[in-house]
Amino acid sequence: MKCIDDVNEFCKNKNLALNEVFSELTVYVTVEPCIMCAAALFDLKVKSVVYGCKNDRFGGETVFNVANVLKTITCRKGGYRADDAMNLLKLFYQGVNPSAPLSKVKVRGKKFHKNENI
């Protein structure tokens, strides 16, 4: 997760203890973290996680309540600016992933195959 890498780099540069920084950190994300990302955040004992829209397929709270399984007391708050988050997510999915293999790129609702012309 990028936020974990960023905090790690920040702590190295400032000579701070990771566990102390994470215990005071509130992570804001557009979409509810997936199960594995939620588990990583809870394992790091972040102070709280605030997300916009739910992740009904892979959500770390909606689908599988990671915090209850790990017995953490991390505060989770969903629905923060949920409409804005959903609109941002829709806008994201209208784009094309520039890192996607050409065979996986979708064009106007269908998959583009390497042998086809756009």
pLDDT, one tens digit per residue, over 20-52 is 999 999 999 888 888 888 888 888 988 888 888
CB 51 within 8 A of CB 78: yes
Q: In this structure, is residue 113 part of a structural domain?
A: no
Domain count, the chain: 1
**Domain membership of residue 7 as a residue range:** 2-95
Q: In this structure, is residue 65 part of a structural domain?
A: yes
Q: In this structure, is residue 105 part of a structural domain?
A: no
Tokens of 35: 């199960």
Q: pTM, whole model, 2 decimals?
A: 0.63
Q: In this structure, is residue 115 part of a structural domain?
A: no
Domain CATH code at residue 13? 3.40.140.10
Q: In this structure, is residue 81 part of a structural domain?
A: yes
Residue 93 to residue 76: CA distance in whole angstroms: 25
pLDDT, one tens digit per residue, over 54-67 is 877 766 666 556 66
17 has a pLDDT exceeding 70 = yes
92-109: string of b/e by CB count within 10 Å (b at 16+)?
A: eeeeeeeeeeeeeeeeee
